[in-house]
């Protein structure tokens, strides 16, 4: 089953469009692994996928502690996304993607800044062969995102002045990406990207909670999945927070 179909299945079964960003503060590796596994067990009924980044891979090891987390997620029926932001030359990108896919991840996040030829082409080709996913980073959730993703450029296809993130959205279509990331902190950007993608490529939006993103604004603008980390992982009652977020997203989507 393809990554997009896996996401659709999980979202339907759990009645959720909430992706858990398993971001935890640094502690001893054995404690970090234990807390990650316990947290995942606690909130899994309310989420549709798990996103992991360098917070866990660096201290736990890609083929040591990480497979236990990925394995538990899969046992719970949850797809896993590696937030590695692939951003190098093609040969290096290919190796990066192969390592993460071989470690069990269902999708990787990649940066379209590096382009297609000798850039992300090998990643998309490997993903297709392995029936895994590639999600493109179109607009990040932090304040400085405008310095790169928000700059104005000449669209190489049309010769017209436009925003970098809109060209990245177009690339998501032409490259057959499985999703795009647009920060929930910028609902106006979500709306613009959705106007390009419609329902052909789902939008994943991080930044709800600690960064100030709003559930209703992001969903109404066109976000399909909301990625939430610290609001859940640092909560006294993560399960209750995850349930509340799941229900809030569901309510917005139904209105």
Residues recognised as catalytic: 85
Structure tokens at 185: 């902190």
List residues bridging with 161 in a β-sheet: 154
Please state, in angstroms and as integers, the Cα–Cα distance from residue 154 to each residue in 17, 157, 158, 196, 255, following that order: 35, 9, 8, 17, 38
User: What SS3 state is found at 225?
Assistant: strand
What is the rounded distance in angstroms from the CA atom of residue 13 to the CA atom of residue 7?
10
Q: Where are the alpha helices (DSSP H) in 76-163?
A: 90-102, 121-130
Among residues 220, 222, 177, 217, which one has the least CA distance to residue 195?
222
What is the rounded distance in angstroms from the CA atom of residue 218 to the CA atom of residue 190?
7
């Amino acid at each position: 089953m393809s990554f997009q179909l896996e996401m659709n299945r999980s979202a339907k079964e759990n009645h959720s469009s909430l992706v858990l960003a398993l971001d935890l503060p640094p502690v001893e590796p054995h404690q970090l692994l234990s807390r990650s596994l316990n947290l995942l067990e606690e909130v899994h009924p309310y989420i549709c996928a798990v996103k992991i980044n360098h917070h866990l891979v660096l201290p736990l090891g890609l083929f040591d502690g990480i497979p236990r987390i990925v394995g538990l997620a899969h046992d719970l029926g949850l797809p896993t996304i590696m937030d590695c932001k692939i951003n190098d030359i093609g040969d290096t990108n290919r190796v990066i993607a192969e390592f993460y896919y071989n470690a069990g991840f269902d999708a990787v996040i990649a940066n379209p800044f590096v382009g297609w030829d000798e850039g992300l082409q090998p990643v998309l080709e490997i993903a297709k062969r392995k029936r895994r996913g590639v999600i493109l980073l179109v607009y990040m959730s932090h304040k400085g995102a405008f310095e790169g993703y928000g700059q104005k450029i000449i669209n190489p296809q049309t010769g017209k002045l436009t925003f970098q993130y809109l060209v990245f959205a177009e690339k998501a279509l032409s490259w057959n990406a499985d999703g795009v990331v647009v920060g929930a902190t910028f609902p106006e950007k979500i709306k613009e990207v959705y106007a390009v993608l419609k329902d052909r490529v789902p939008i994943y939006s991080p930044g709800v909670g600690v960064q100030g993103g709003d559930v209703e604004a992001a969903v109404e603008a066109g976000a399909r999945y909301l990625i939430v980390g610290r609001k859940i992982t640092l909560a006294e009652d993560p399960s209750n927070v995850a349930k509340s977020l799941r229900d809030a997203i569901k309510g917005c989507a139904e209105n």
